[in-house]
Amino acid sequence: MNVEIISERDNPVLSRKEVLLLAKYEGATPSLTELRQKVVETLGVSPELMVIKKTEQNFGKREVKIWAYVYDNPDVLRRLEPIYVLKRNKLATA
């Protein structure tokens, strides 16, 4: 899987960096866990500070757009992100 950064924006008000990435792959669509690992490797950040907010895929294309937020502090991440996003990213339990 090849991941490239499309755009990157700092948001100092919310203490985070907002990144749009494009992942190109072969074979089956990668899971969110696989996408998270690849984004963490690409950005060089700690997995506890990053959430994938949204993914988008067009039918027939072997690519996925990924909207990821990288926070400065894990406390800010837990305060700002809804619980369903934390669960989806395996940063919170039931």
pLDDT of residue 92: 84
Q: Is residue 43 part of a domain?
A: yes
Domain that holds residue 33: 2-88
Q: Is residue 65 part of a domain?
A: yes
pLDDT of residue 94: 60
Residue 9: pLDDT band by 50, 70, 90 thresholds? very high
The answer, yes or no, to whether residue 7 has pLDDT greater than 90, is: yes
Query: What tens digit of pLDDT does each residue of 41-93 get?
Result: 999 999 999 999 999 999 989 999 999 999 999 999 999 999 999 999 999 87
Q: Is residue 33 part of a domain?
A: yes
Q: Is residue 30 part of a domain?
A: yes
Q: Is residue 93 part of a domain?
A: no
Alpha-carbon gap, residue 76 to 15, rounded angstroms: 7
Q: Report the DSSP pairing between strands 16-24 and 2-11.
A: antiparallel
Q: Is residue 94 part of a domain?
A: no
Tally of domains in the chain? 1
Q: Is residue 7 part of a domain?
A: yes
Alpha-carbon gap, residue 29 to 57, rounded angstroms: 9
Q: Supply the CATH number for residue 54's domain.
A: 3.30.70.330
